[in-house]
Amino acid sequence: MNISNIILERLLSDQYTNNITFPIREHQNIKNELNKGNTVSTVRLCNEYNKYKKGQTYKTQWGDIIRITSVRKFTNPQQIPTWNSMDTIMKTEIIKWSNRCDNKIDWVRFKKVV
């Protein structure tokens, strides 16, 4: 077994990788963008605020391994760089939850590792 297979095996094991989940309605879009090699972003609030760290790896519900490339903090949802591209449902949820959590918002960007 070569070194890249050993690394891949460790990344895929829950012992070495934390999990990250996404709303079901976002799965296909996230998968498509990751498979194209694009960087994807997500907004995290409340109990997930300050949870994700740059450079760490996580396993998605569908088994992809992602690495966090950046985390930016905001206190106003409209400051989020992708705000204007979000649909009304997403904006409404972000506003609702940010108001409940003292407007602590993480904008997390990530790429697929495996």
User: What are the chain's domains?
Assistant: 3-112 (2.30.130.30)
pLDDT single digits (tens) 77-91: 999 999 999 999 999
* Per-residue model confidence (pLDDT) at position 1: 57
Residue 95 structure tokens: 């506003």
**Residue pointed to by tokens 């690495």:** 67
At 8, the pLDDT band (50, 70, 90 cuts) reads: low
Percent of the chain with pLDDT strictly greater than 90: 79
Q: How far apart are alpha carbons 105 and 44 in whole angstroms?
A: 6
Percent of the chain with pLDDT strictly greater than 70: 84
pLDDT single digits (tens) 10-56: 655 555 568 999 999 899 999 999 999 999 999 999 999 999 999 99
Contact, 104 vs 72, CB < 8 A?
no
